[in-house]
Amino acid sequence: MPEKRPLRNRLNDLPARQWLKFQKSWFVHDPPRRKKDVLRHPGKFPETLALEFISFFTKAGAWVLDPMVGTGSTVVASLRAGRNSIGIELNPEYADLARSVVALERTTLGQSAESLAAEILTGDAARLDGFGLPIFDYVLTSPPYWDMLHARGAEAQRRRRSSPALDVTYSEDPADLGNVADYHDFLRRLVPIYAALQPHLRPGAYLTIIVKNVKKGGRIYPLAWDLGHALGQYYTLKDERIWCQDDIRLAPYGLGSAWVSNTHHHYCLQFRHEP
């Protein structure tokens, strides 16, 4: 019987078993509790989730970008994975917080992270030309979910308003897309940001956008699907993975009168730069 040829893995450093596990189209990810120093940010995604995506879509030493890095989850995960990374953040306070978080992670990792780049840049992702960016092997990011942080009726927002230490919105900056009131204007400003990443991506590089469809005023705004359609003009939409959150309590929305789901999932859209 002929011997099996070893897997020639051009994408990552994972064994076949881990590769196969990641190919499942949905997954449950229950991250550890957020650390106190980053709780103030209202839309942070977990480093543990970012680590799984970075490990699958890159090899050791690759360059990773997050153009809306918040408090630094993508950069922290890149350090843990042995990848170089740059994060861009509009809010100077979050950028400073991200630098502190990254510095602490460097200290924790010690010698294994010494040679890795892990930089937080303060600025607007809509203005990339002045950053002097390298060519990236992967982009992992999550945009504001339109202006939903301004929705006063949301249960999570009510809890955050009760604590002066927690931010309810990202900022008051008019350049902050989380402050754009009109949905179509929001899309018109968001899509070009991602499209403009093309010159900074190597051919074949993947772009993962973690996003959610939005409920507002009794209707659904299909943000994930609209992004998939619009960005399909610039990249190849390869697939989606659905992140199911199974650790959130159900709320009786519309009980006895109307169908209103508890939306406990996000779409992880996979695009590829295929010039």
CA dist 247 and 45 (Å) reads: 15
- Look at residue 270 and give its three-state secondary structure: strand
CA dist 160 and 162 (Å) reads: 5
CA atoms within 13 A on the CB side of 213: 14
* Domain 34-272, CATH among 2.40.50.140, 3.40.50.150, 3.40.50.300, 3.30.70.20: 3.40.50.150
- The two counts, helices (H) then strands (E), for the chain are 7, 10
- Is the pTM higher than 0.85? The answer reads yes
Q: What confidence tens digit (pLDDT) does each residue in 165-205 have?
A: 455 555 677 778 878 889 999 999 999 999 999 999 999 99
72, 84, 103 from 115: Cα distances, Å: 19, 9, 14
Q: Is 181 exposed, middle or buried (0-12, 13-18, 19+ CB in 10 A)?
A: exposed
Mean pLDDT value across the chain: 87
CA dist 43 and 40 (Å) reads: 9
Percent of the chain at pLDDT exceeding 90: 65
Q: What confidence tens digit (pLDDT) does each residue in 132-145 have?
A: 999 999 999 999 88
3-state SS of 216-266 is ECCEEECHHHHHHHHHCCCCEEEEEEEEECCCCCCCCCCCCCCCCCCCCEE
> Cβ distance 165 to 39 under 8 Å?
yes
The pLDDT, as a whole number, for residue 136 is: 98
Helices (H), ranges, the chain: 16-22, 47-57, 73-81, 92-109, 155-161, 183-195, 223-231
The pLDDT, as a whole number, for residue 177 is: 82
> Cβ distance 197 to 128 under 8 Å?
yes
Return the structure tokens found at 139: 């982009």
More confident residue, 105 or 43: 105
Q: What confidence tens digit (pLDDT) does each residue in 100-157 have?
A: 999 999 999 999 999 999 999 999 999 998 899 999 999 999 998 887 766 655 555 4
For 98, residues 6+ apart whose C-beta sits below 8 A from its C-beta are 69, 70, 71, 72, 75, 87, 89, 120
